Chains A and B, each alone.
Chain A
Amino acid sequence: MTKTNLLAAMALSLLGATAVHAQENLEVWHYYAAGSELAGMNAMIEVGNAAVEDANITGVVIPGNVVELRRQLQTAFLGGRPPAAYQSSMAYELKTFADGGQLHPLTDVWATIKGDEIFPEGVQRVVKVDGVPYGVPFDLSLINNVFYNKEAFEKAGVEVPTDWDSFTAACDALREAGYQPLGNAGGTFWSLYNFYAALVSAVGEDGYYQIARGELGFDSPQFSEALDLYRDRMVSCYAQNWSGKTWTQTADDLINGNTGMFMMGIWAAGYMDQAGFAAGEGFDMFQAPGTVGKAIFQMDVLAVPEGPGVAAADQFIAAVTTPEGQAAFAVPKGSLAPNVNVDPSVYGYAGATFARQFSEASANDAVLPNLFFLLPTDLGTEFGVQIERFAIDPSDTVKAELIATLEGLRQEALAENAFINW
């Protein structure tokens, strides 16, 4: 009886399988599964799908984040069933998969969309590997803004900070008035993104790229100076128990008036807006000290695996990089459209502010991609872990261990020739 059952199961399975394979359907994999992220993704896929002639493109959600998506991609690559396109991180992520021979070079479609004209220089350099574009940007977020509760600033009598000294003064005044001065959250990214402000102050934009290229050591005096600056100016301001919160819990603290400031990617503005705490009314933002006039950004791109879907993927990409396609994603999601031709009037108050920051930074050639993705993957990840550890315990011992760990990985990466000249 058991064997009969199993045989029946097998037979049924085969039937089911043929039924599925009959309909040809191309997939775009992404991990924007919820809320405004999903709304943006769906809107963009709709625009793209309309332009694809011979196939139907559907979005497939891989719940989780970039790690889960990579897991799914690896299985799919090996199983010979990759999606037509997928949401990828920039820079080293693209390089890794391109080197692995999995990605379709987007040279043709890049020329069609005039990628060299519609995307700012700082954006272009992190989607090309050896001059060949492997990803097209669709989702850009600045990560060097500090959000603040306007009422808290008023009550504490704080002016919007413009440099480290006024920032420290703001922290002190907020603390005096009974607020937690600066929010932060647990996780490998958030402390690291805050640290970039101190890093850029200490090593400058050139130093920032030198670290990305492996030229400036983690044992250098400049890097040590950055750690000290971060410790003295930011870590000392952090809200109590910050490491036990998620970033949305910290955003809630800002909304509820417990915390005065919170340095976070601009998606925080979308989150607060959705919770009924409006930009320009409840909260406002300023560029973190040391990054005024600059833009540090995080970006998602579409990458196309080699496979039968490449022709349709090219059509899809051409459609979603038009100003309409780019706005279709960016406006609901609350991020910036990487295409410079998108009319800034599509954004609300917060979005318009970020767009202005970004175009100013582009004009000054002061656009810095998230260092996490410029470094070899294991070094970037370890960088995040170590900075979080240092933010929790900013002792000299931890600092020394941090430097030793990261420098060790840098030497390994140098030996393997793993750094890229971005």
Chain B
Amino acid sequence: MDLSQGRLNRTTLTHLAFLAVPTLLFAVFYIYPVISSIHLSLHDWDGFSPRMRFVGLQNYTVLINQPRFLHAALNNILWVGFMLIVPTGVGLLLAAILDRGIRGEKVFRIIFFLPFTIPAVAVGAIWRWMYEPDNGLITTVLDLVGLGGLAQNWLGDPAIVNFSLMGSVAWWTTGFAFLVFFAGLRNIPTECIEAARIEGATPWQVFWKVSFPLLWPSTIIVLGMSAIDAMRLFDVVWAMTKGGPAYSSEVLAVQMYDLAFGRFDMGRAAAVAVYLFIIAGVIIMPYIIYMSRRVQDSEAE
């Protein structure tokens, strides 16, 4: 690039001007609350009284030795694995099928997106019915097709409850992956696909060799958001099980909520939030950085 020095400065200045408002808002609405959370996590505080006792890292050391905390952290990691694979995979599959121009495409597009538009409270209520262990729809259908033996105490069995919740979340959030992949596929220049077709590639080959590599920006977004949503997961778990029975479906955000407002232990709750932040950072940030580099590299090529 042979840009003059003055041009470069002007560009940089414009860039900085563009960044000014977002960074300012970010500092006020993110950095300030995060710093105040870190501050809280070093204290013993009920959340409203003037008494606030400094306890150093005690909240952190107590938590790390609690099976309850470790269990919730592990659940979050399970959720990350699940969210990266299932809703993402199903969303990609559905987008790829519909992108081939199937009759009734518009109707299917609506159907696959619909669950994503439903508020969490309603998702919880609907799926409490679906999972009713004796008369719920899932048990009833299994009974009808002669697989009644597979029916479970979906939300009441500590060994099953996480998988049941995952099922309902997959139903809820696949629409997101579907939407982003579908938009991404639509964004791929037709010329590339036509060229491959003319060379005799099957639709399968066209997808994996041409479309999928060009879907990187969409894939990055879907995977990144899935992992982040899995770490921050709260709404549906709270609406359906409140982390129960007996903590078995608890994730960190639910535990934080319970400690802060269920037990008046603000300091401990803030420590959970900081741990959540750190765990999420360790798991997710390298991925995001790696993927962002990839975009830049592929553009540079």
Asked if the two chains touch in their complex, CB atoms less than 8 Å apart, one says: yes
Residues of A within 8 A of B (CB): 2-3, 6, 63, 67-68, 70-71, 73-74, 77-78, 96-97, 99-102, 186-188, 240-246, 249, 253, 258, 377-378, 381, 385-386, 388-389, 392
List B contacts of A253 (CB < 8 A).
Answer: 134
List A contacts of B260 (CB < 8 A).
Answer: 71
CB distance from A193 to the nearest CB of B (A): 15
Q: Does B241 contact A (CB under 8 A)?
A: yes
Q: Is the CB of B156 within 8 A of A243?
A: yes
The interface-forming segment of B105-113, B199-207, B243-251, B281-289 is: B243-251
Q: Is the CB of B48 within 8 A of A388?
A: no
Q: Does B50 contact A (CB under 8 A)?
A: yes
Across the interface, A97 reaches (CB within 8 A) one of B48, B245, B265, B266, namely B48
Closest 5 CB pairs of A and B: A244-B156, A243-B156, A100-B49, A241-B133, A389-B246
CA distance A188 to B153 in the complex (A): 18
Residue in A closest to B266 when the chains form the complex, CB atoms: A74
Residue in B closest to A242 when the chains form the complex, CB atoms: B156
Q: Does B47 contact A (CB under 8 A)?
A: yes
CA distance A305 to B264 in the complex (A): 17
CA distance A117 to B288 in the complex (A): 67
List B contacts of A245 (CB < 8 A).
Answer: 132-133, 156
Across the interface, A392 reaches (CB within 8 A) one of B51, B128, B156, B257, namely B156
Contact residues, B211-244 vs A (CB, 8 A): 241-242, 244
As a 0/1 sequence over residues 136 to 178 of chain B, the CB contacts with chain A under 8 angstroms (1 = contact) are: 0000000000000000011111100000000000000000000
Q: Does B261 contact A (CB under 8 A)?
A: yes
CA distance A312 to B132 in the complex (A): 47
Beyond A245-B133, A385-B247, A392-B245, whether A96 also contacts B21 by CB under 8 A is no
Across the interface, B21 reaches (CB within 8 A) one of A6, A77, A243, A246, namely A6
Beyond A2-B21, A385-B246, A389-B246, whether A241 also contacts B153 by CB under 8 A is yes
Q: Is the CB of A392 within 8 A of B246?
A: yes
Q: Is the CB of B245 within 8 A of A388?
A: yes
List B contacts of A242 (CB < 8 A).
Answer: 156
Q: Does B104 contact A (CB under 8 A)?
A: no
Interface class of chain A by DSSP: helix
Q: Is the CB of A100 within 8 A of B48?
A: yes
Q: Is the CB of A74 within 8 A of B133?
A: no
Beyond A67-B257, A77-B48, A99-B49, whether A244 also contacts B154 by CB under 8 A is yes
CB distance from B53 to the nearest CB of A (A): 11
Q: Is the CB of B48 within 8 A of A102?
A: yes
Residue in A closest to B128 when the chains form the complex, CB atoms: A246
Beyond A96-B264, A386-B246, whether A186 also contacts B48 by CB under 8 A is no
CA distance A243 to B133 in the complex (A): 9
CB distance from B159 to the nearest CB of A (A): 11
CB distance from A245 to the nearest CB of B (A): 7
Beyond A67-B258, A67-B262, A249-B132, whether A388 also contacts B244 by CB under 8 A is yes
Q: Is the CB of B263 within 8 A of A377?
A: yes
Residue in B closest to A191 when the chains form the complex, CB atoms: B245
List 17 A–B pairs whose Cβ atoms lie within 8 Å, in order of A's numbering: A67-B257, A70-B47, A74-B47, A96-B264, A97-B48, A100-B49, A187-B244, A243-B153, A244-B132, A244-B156, A245-B133, A249-B132, A377-B262, A378-B264, A381-B263, A389-B245, A392-B246
CA distance A244 to B151 in the complex (A): 12
List A contacts of B154 (CB < 8 A).
Answer: 244
CB distance from B131 to the nearest CB of A (A): 7
Beyond A186-B241, A186-B245, A389-B245, whether A74 also contacts B153 by CB under 8 A is no
Q: Is the CB of A244 within 8 A of B133?
A: yes
Across the interface, A258 reaches (CB within 8 A) one of B134, B262, B266, namely B134
Contact residues, B83-123 vs A (CB, 8 A): 121
Q: Is the CB of A186 within 8 A of B49?
A: no
Beyond A188-B244, A244-B133, A388-B246, whether A381 also contacts B262 by CB under 8 A is yes
CB distance from A262 to the nearest CB of B (A): 14
CA distance A68 to B261 in the complex (A): 7
Residue in A closest to B24 when the chains form the complex, CB atoms: A6
Residue in A closest to B241 when the chains form the complex, CB atoms: A186
Contact residues, B45-73 vs A (CB, 8 A): 46-51
Q: Is the CB of B155 within 8 A of A187?
A: no
Task: From A70, A102, A243, name the one whose CB has the most chain B CB atoms within 10 angstroms.
Answer: A243
Residue in B closest to A401 when the chains form the complex, CB atoms: B67
Across the interface, B157 reaches (CB within 8 A) one of A187, A244, A381, namely A244
Q: Is the CB of A240 within 8 A of B134?
A: yes
Contact residues, B253-301 vs A (CB, 8 A): 257-258, 260-266
CA distance A96 to B264 in the complex (A): 9
Task: From B21, B134, B154, B246, name the one whose CB has the most chain A CB atoms within 10 angstroms.
Answer: B246
Residue in B closest to A378 when the chains form the complex, CB atoms: B263
Given A244-B132, A378-B264; 20 other pairs, CB 8 A cutoff: A2-B21, A67-B257, A70-B261, A73-B48, A96-B264, A102-B48, A102-B49, A187-B244, A241-B156, A243-B155, A244-B131, A244-B153, A244-B156, A245-B132, A245-B133, A381-B263, A388-B245, A389-B245, A392-B157, A392-B245
Residue in A closest to B161 when the chains form the complex, CB atoms: A244
CA distance A187 to B249 in the complex (A): 12
List A contacts of B258 (CB < 8 A).
Answer: 67, 381
